[in-house]
Amino acid sequence: MVRYLGRRVLILLPSLLLVSMLTFVMIRSAGGDPAELRLGLHASPESLARVRREMGLTDPWPVQYVRWLGGALGGDLGRSYLTGSSVTDEILQRFPATLELALSSMLIAVPLGIAAGTISAVRARTVVDNVSMLGGLVGISIPTFWLGVMLIIVFAVWLGWVPVAGSTDVHLGIYPITKFSLIDGFLEDGWDGLWDAARHLVLPAVTLAGWPMAILARHMRSSLLEVLHQDYTRTGRAKGLRFVRLVWRHAFPNALIPVVTVAALETGYLLGGAVITETVFAWPGVGNLTIQALASRDYMLVQGAVLLFAVVFALLNVLADVTYAVLDPRIRY
Amino acid sequence: MLSSTREFATNALPPTQQRRARSRFARWLRQVSPSGWTGGVLLAALCLVAVAGPAVTGNPLAMNVPARLQPPSPQHLMGTDEFGRDILTRVVHGARISLGAGVGVVVVGLGIGLLFGLVAAYRGGAFALAAMSFVDIMLALPGVLLAIVIAALLSPRLGTAIVAVGIVTIPYYARLVWGVTQTVRLREYVEAARAAGASDFRILGRHLLPGVLPPALVQATLGVGNGILSVSALSFLGVGAQPPTPEWGLMLSQAQRFILVAPYLGIFPGLGIMLAVLSFNLIGDSMHDLVDPVLAASVRR
């Protein structure tokens, strides 16, 4: 097991290296002058040249890349072109918010998706199944940003139950402690703070949960249907097991194995989807930061954020494979 | 999927009816599920709107500032936006843009991915290793994010957004085609063709491509829907279509600024995206039940 895990992580390294090279080359070839970005349009040619030298932009690309990579391996992703602050710090400031949003969404999507898929499979080809699968299809067809906007209109604008955007009210979060809005809210204002943070979190979390929930429901349905048609389930039926017990004890755990893998993979896609959801809700996460950085051409920041997303995504891929290998004894590793 | 195998069994028609089903096409039509028909009708309606609609509704950029931000009324069935432009007109024009964008994404993704996958699987060797490693690396990145970055770097326009999303989908097609070709290329008929002296080009085109095409087309159908979704998302984020283009995602992002005064602005463009994507998903789903059900598992993520 340890060797399998080691091998998987080793394969990861060259691909992450290539990803970092790819982003580096892509971003450098996009052009734009970081020195001008820092100093403004009216800077003198001398000071521009000086800043370029200071930022190491006069070196050839490979030298710049190796220097950046060397720093990245030590946890230093360079300095923001725009503000000059550490990219690592900027990203770490924002990452907890993204993580909090993604985890909350999975907390909604996994149980509901699995429940819907299970009910669909057990009641296959009935009205319940059709409604639930149509829901699943709508779930994968609905644009995340539209779902977000519609939820805002209904629950924030019309009903006024929750705030329109943001992660906390203004008086909170000035001195974030853990940077998780729920925990910070509680630490600063007790139950009121927690309630306030939760009210901010619920709409973005639901918005982001739509897609993985639909995917999980569809996978759960087909997986359980497959198991229910296997010989051992028929044997169980033949020896007189009650249907509920048969499903719950024999079919469900086996059907769950591939779905767990999907859930791990979906968490990775969720991080990509978070870019959109965070923009809709002005959620102070890494996705929002990336979009802002792209808009202001702060490519050092973009580069760091892309690398972070790639690392997290790749790790979740490994996690998916490993859980599969652990859960399914038929898999040899 | 088991549901589909069961469907195949029940679709075995009694002999009398079988005679009545004259052509293969008629038999094929019978196998299309109700959801497939729903998707087809939906898509046909959307295509009609996209082709004929713009001629009926007029100029989507015509402003009428005094009549700005009006709620839906008999004159403006979907209301007007902040410049007094008629939303219905813009949504109708958006259908043409989005359907075109979805197809464009698939042309880029399927075109390059199919070529890569076919050649990699057929030639093998160092090229295959390099190509498929590259595919694996691309798959190890969150696609939407990559597309956003590419589009932003290539100067944000509708065209670049389509290309960016297309590029990101290449590995999915390449991987699928590669897998299918691997299984097909060792069959006896391919060997027979080679023994008969067929050129590589002929073997690829006449013997391997027909085996690869059905699952690739299922993937492509779902890909049009996902392409529409992704391109509109890029436009929403500001790295796709630029104002004043009547693109659905862009219209939504502009609508969000008026969410408190004119919440209805956002309803129809989003509904358009959803119906378009839904129609392709419905069709793709029923197609994937028709094509080899074993392959279906690899088509659907």
Cβ(B118)–Cβ(B212) below 8 Å: yes
**Taking the model in full, what pTM does it have?**
0.85
Q: What is the model's pLDDT at position A114?
A: 94
> Counting one residue from A and one from B, how many pairs have CB atoms under 8 Å apart?
143
Q: Looking at the complex, does the CB of residue B300 fall below 8 Å from at least one CB of chain A?
A: yes
Chain A CB contacts of B233 under 8 Å are: 143-145, 276
Chain A CB contacts of B223 under 8 Å are: none
Of A26, A146, A294, the CB nearest to B270: A146
Q: How confident is the model at residue B7 (pLDDT cuts 50, 70, 90)?
A: very low
Read off the pLDDT of each residue in A87-99 and give the average, rounded to a whole number.
89
Q: Does B293 have pLDDT greater than 60? A: no
Q: What is the model's pLDDT at position A176?
A: 64
Q: Looking at the complex, does the CB of residue A131 fall below 8 Å from at least one CB of chain B?
A: no
Q: Looking at the complex, does the CB of residue A320 fall below 8 Å from at least one CB of chain B?
A: no
Distance, in Å, from the CA atom of A254 to the CA atom of A121, rounded to the nearest integer, reads 14
Whether a cis peptide bond, with omega within 30° of 0, leads into B71 is no
Q: For the segment B80-95, what is each residue's pLDDT rounded down to a tens digit?
A: 877 878 888 898 999 9
Among A108, A94, A105, A207, smallest CA distance to A148 is for: A207
* CA dihedral over B94, B96, B98, B99, signed as positive or negative: positive
Q: What is the model's pLDDT at position A195?
A: 81
Nearest Cα residue in chain A from B143: A272
Distance, in Å, from the CA atom of B269 to the CA atom of B92, rounded to the nearest integer, reads 9
* Probe site for chain B from A25, A141, A270 (most B CB atoms < 10 A): A141
Domain boundaries, chain B: 96-301
By mean pLDDT, which of A245-254, B58-67, B200-209 is the weakest?
Answer: B58-67
Q: Does A332 have pLDDT greater than 70? A: no
Chain A CB contacts of B270 under 8 Å are: 143, 145-146, 149-150
Distance, in Å, from the CA atom of A45 to the CA atom of A221, rounded to the nearest integer, reads 65
Q: Looking at the complex, does the CB of residue A290 fall below 8 Å from at least one CB of chain B?
A: yes
Q: What is the model's pLDDT at position B10?
A: 43
Percent of chain A topping pLDDT 90 = 17
Do B233 and A143 lie within an 8 Å CB cutoff?
yes
Three-state secondary structure string covering chain A: CHHHHHHHHHHHHHHHHHHHHHHHHHHHHCCCCHHHHHHCCCCCHHHHHHHHHHCCCCCCHHHHHHHHHHHHHCCCCCECCCCCCEHHHHHHHHHHHHHHHHHHHHHHHHHHHHHHHHHHHHCCCCHHHHHHHHHHHHHHHCCHHHHHHHHHHHHHHHCCCCCCCCCCCCCCCCCCCCCCHHHHHHHHHHHHHHHHHHHHHHHHHHHHHHHHHHHHHHHHHHHHHHHHCCHHHHHHHHCCCCHHHHHHHHHHHHHHHHHHHHHHHHHHHHHHHHHHHHHHHCCCCHHHHHHHHHHCCCHHHHHHHHHHHHHHHHHHHHHHHHHHHHHCCCCCC
Domains and CATH numbers, chain A: 2-73 (no CATH), 94-332 (1.10.3720.10)
By mean pLDDT, which of A121-130, A262-271, A282-291, B3-12 is the weakest?
Answer: B3-12
Chain B CB contacts of A143 under 8 Å are: 229, 232-233, 236, 249, 252, 270, 273-274, 277
Nearest Cα residue in chain B from A16: B137
The yes or no reply on domain B96-301 and CATH 3.30.70.141 is no
Q: What is the model's pLDDT at position A168?
A: 66
Residue of A186 and A233 predicted with greater confidence: A233
Q: What is the model's pLDDT at position B6?
A: 37
Distance, in Å, from the CA atom of A190 to the CA atom of A174, rounded to the nearest integer, reads 16
Q: Does B65 have pLDDT greater than 60? A: yes
Do A153 and B266 lie within an 8 Å CB cutoff?
yes
Of A29, A276, A295, the CB nearest to B233: A276
Q: Looking at the complex, does the CB of residue A138 fall below 8 Å from at least one CB of chain B?
A: yes
Q: For the segment A175-197, what is each residue's pLDDT rounded down to a tens digit?
A: 566 777 777 777 777 787 778 78
Segment (H or E) for B289: helix B267-290
Q: Does A311 have pLDDT greater than 80? A: yes
* Probe site for chain B from A146, A159, A302 (most B CB atoms < 10 A): A146
Nearest Cα residue in chain A from B300: A219
Nearest Cα residue in chain A from B2: A226
Q: Looking at the complex, does the CB of residue A91 fall below 8 Å from at least one CB of chain B?
A: no
Of B140, B269, B274, the CB nearest to A15: B140
From its phi and psi, is residue B105 left (phi > 0), alpha (psi between -120 and 50) or beta? alpha
Q: If you search the block for the tokens 């043409």, which residue do you land on?
A: B96
Q: Does B297 have pLDDT greater than 80? A: no
Could you tell me which residues come within 8 angstroms of residue B239 by beta carbon, excluding any fewer than 6 positions away? A294, B148, B151, B152, B156, B161
**Burial (CB count <10 Å: 0-12, 13-18, 19+), residue B55:** exposed
**Burial (CB count <10 Å: 0-12, 13-18, 19+), residue B100:** middle
